[in-house]
Amino acid sequence: MSHDYRKNPEAISRLSPEQYRVTQEAETEPPFNNAYWDNEEPGLYVDIVSGEPLFASVNKYDSGTGWPTFTRPVEAENVVELQDSTLGITRTEVRSAHGDSHLGHVFDDGPPEAGGLRYCMNSAALRFIPRDDLERAGYGEYRNVFEQADRGAKR
């Protein structure tokens, strides 16, 4: 299925001030005071501006940082990693490929058994789609991500 994910001016106009600062000005929301840091519901996280699928709850874990954290993207081609030296240290910024939204940063101190990466994202850059709403929201092709995880958990 082909989708037209892109930076959408109408979606940008609907962003809250915090969502705008995070996605368009590369700001960071406060830890432990954001929508998804402790969300344990199964579902898909998409770019709030473009709608492109970014992360799935099956790859989410509690990193103790206060932000939603994942071991890997659900679609690697939907994330772009760039060098970021804005704080005087070199980090790797994560942006959405089609929407060009600032999402957060990726670090190499994640769980070794899951590849060792920690994608530390801003809730303000994401829209959460519960697993049971995937079809209705137009993301039905991602149901298999959760079905595979369910099958793996039953082994």
Q: What per-residue confidence (pLDDT) applies to 152?
A: 63
| CA dist., res. 83 & res. 32, Å (int) | 26
Which residue's structure tokens are 């402790």?
38
Q: What are the catalytic residues?
A: 120
Sheet with 43-47, side-by-side order of all strands: 53-56, 43-47, 126-130
Domain ranges, residue 63: 9-131
CATH code where residue 125 lies: 2.170.150.20
| CA dist., res. 22 & res. 64, Å (int) | 21
Q: What per-residue confidence (pLDDT) applies to 154?
A: 55
Q: Is the pTM of the predicted complex or chain greater than 0.85?
A: yes
pLDDT of residue 2 exceeding 80, the answer is no
| CA dist., res. 137 & res. 42, Å (int) | 15
Q: What per-residue confidence (pLDDT) applies to 1?
A: 46
Is residue 22 situated within a structural domain? Answer: yes
What is the tally of structural domains in the chain? 1
CA quadruple 29, 30, 35, 36: dihedral sign: positive
Sorting pLDDT into bands at 50, 70 and 90, what band is 3? confident
Summarize pLDDT for 116-140 with one digit per residue, the tens. Answer: 999 999 999 999 999 999 999 999 9
Is residue 127 situated within a structural domain? Answer: yes
Is residue 3 situated within a structural domain? Answer: no
Is residue 148 situated within a structural domain? Answer: no
Summarize pLDDT for 53-104 with one digit per residue, the tens. Answer: 999 999 999 999 999 999 999 999 999 999 877 767 788 999 999 999 999 9
DSSP secondary structure, 31-65, as one string:
TTSSSSTT--S-EEEEETTT--EEEEGGGEE--SS
Q: What per-residue confidence (pLDDT) applies to 5?
A: 86
Is residue 1 situated within a structural domain? Answer: no
Burial 112-148 (b: 16+ CB within 10 A, else e): eeeeebbbbbbbbbbbbbebeebeeeebeebeebbee
Is residue 147 situated within a structural domain? Answer: no
Is residue 138 situated within a structural domain? Answer: no
- Please tell me what DSSP assigns to residue 40: -
Is residue 143 situated within a structural domain? Answer: no
